[in-house]
């Protein structure tokens, strides 16, 4: 399947997977948005479209919650001209790597986008939880495990109904919180569950008392880094979130040196939670504004 040349666009479809995933594989990035699974599952909310500029694949996002933007071009052909073309059509590029912003952003207004920094951890830290700084995490896990057992299994089609039931309960608890877009998260997560194998996701579920109480979806972002895109945990179980965080990495991603747990979106509670796991580094992202 071929893609249209700028200024023509096409909406993103599943049939674009091979072409887009192959292009991303040739130009790997630590940025969580530059992964086909992320682009595809968010496409309906972001109203994402594809075009080709100077041989580079460009993704336009027209989200209802922020100004329109292009993702960083996927490719390496005449990126100065490609950036100029993008900014002639949309007000900015967003989720841009630091190296790209440093090299090509000079003529434009560049700004760090702290709310979209990805948190990256050493997998051995998330698995081992060693040292005083992780005392609280270990204590929460022990509290959950005291007198209680759980079962872990790889996500399979026959287990999807249990995941959907948990998702419904989770959304009900979250409903009404300021800024929480429940319908958006339902759409994105259900897309990920429905197409997990085809999108390259590896899923794990945690059952307590024969009922799904947690599930996670992750994928390999680059050879030494996995990204955890979905983690849903029954809030009724204190300590289960910490256990899911540890065990999913231990069982599925111990061969990766780094674990990318995406951004905090500027949500104070989420920022505190992600910071409490002591990230190894951030994937810094920038906005590049035209005009």
pLDDT above 90 for 114: yes
Instruction: Tell me the per-residue pLDDT of 148-168, one tens digit each, with 9 for 90 and over.
Output: 999 999 999 999 999 999 999
Q: Which two tokens stand for residue 36?
A: 């086909």
Taking domain 118-262, whether its CATH number is 3.40.630.30 is answered by yes
What's the burial of 228, exposed, middle or buried (CB within 10 Å: 0-12/13-18/19+)?
Answer: buried
Per the prediction, the chain carries an average pLDDT of: 96
Each domain of the chain, given as residue ranges in start order, spans 10-113, 118-262
Strands 49-53 and 225-233: unpaired
pLDDT band at 276 (very low <50, low <70, confident <90, very high): very high
Q: Which two tokens stand for residue 185?
A: 């998260």
DSSP state of 256: -
pTM score, two decimals?
Answer: 0.96
Q: What is the pLDDT of residue 270?
A: 94
**CATH tag, 10-113:** 3.40.630.30
Instruction: Tell me the per-residue pLDDT of 192-224, one tens digit each, with 9 for 90 and over.
Output: 999 999 999 999 999 999 999 999 999 999 999
Q: Minimal CA–CA distance to 198: which of 36, 39, 45, 58? A: 36
DSSP state of 71: P
Judge if 10-113 and 118-262 fold alike in CATH terms.
yes
pLDDT band at 144 (very low <50, low <70, confident <90, very high): very high
Q: Minimal CA–CA distance to 77: which of 53, 108, 104, 106? A: 53
**Residue 269 CB contacts under 8 Å (≥ 6 apart), including other chains:** none
252 close to 204: Cβ distance less than 8 angstroms = yes
Inter-CA distances, 161 with 82, 198, 203, Å: 44, 19, 14
- Distance of alpha carbon 104 from the chain centroid: 25
């Amino acid at each position: 399947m071929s893609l249209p040349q700028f200024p023509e666009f096409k909406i993103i479809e599943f049939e674009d997977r091979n072409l887009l995933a192959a292009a991303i594989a040739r130009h790997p990035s630590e940025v969580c948005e530059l992964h086909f699974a992320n682009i595809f599952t968010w496409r309906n909310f972001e109203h994402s479209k594809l075009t080709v500029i100077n041989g580079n694949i460009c993704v336009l996002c027209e989200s209802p919650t922020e100004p329109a933007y292009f993702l960083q071009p996927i490719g390496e052909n005449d990126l100065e001209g490609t950036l100029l073309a993008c900014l002639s059509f949309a007000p900015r590029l967003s989720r841009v790597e630091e190296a790209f912003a440093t090299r090509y952003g000079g003529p434009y207004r560049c700004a760090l986008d702290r709310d979209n920094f990805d948190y990256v951890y050493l997998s051995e830290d998330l698995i081992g939880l060693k040292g005083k700084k992780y005392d609280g995490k270990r204590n929460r896990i022990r509290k959950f495990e005291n007198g209680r057992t759980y079962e872990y299994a790889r996500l399979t089609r026959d287990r999807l109904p249990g995941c959907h039931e948990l998702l419904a309960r989770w959304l009900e608890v979250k409903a009404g919180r300021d800024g929480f877009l429940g319908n958006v998260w339902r759409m994105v997560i259900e897309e990920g569950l429905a197409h997990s194998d085809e999108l390259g996701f590896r899923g794990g579920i945690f059952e307590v008392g024969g009922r799904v109480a947690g599930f996670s979806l992750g994928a390999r972002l680059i050879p030494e880094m996995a990204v955890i895109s979905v983690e849903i945990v029954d809030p009724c179980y204190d300590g289960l979130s910490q256990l899911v965080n540890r065990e999913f990495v231990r069982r599925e991603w111990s061969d990766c040196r780094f674990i990318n747990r995406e951004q905090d979106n500027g949500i104070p509670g989420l920022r505190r939670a992600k910071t409490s796991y002591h990230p190894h580094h951030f994937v810094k992202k920038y906005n590049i504004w035209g005009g």
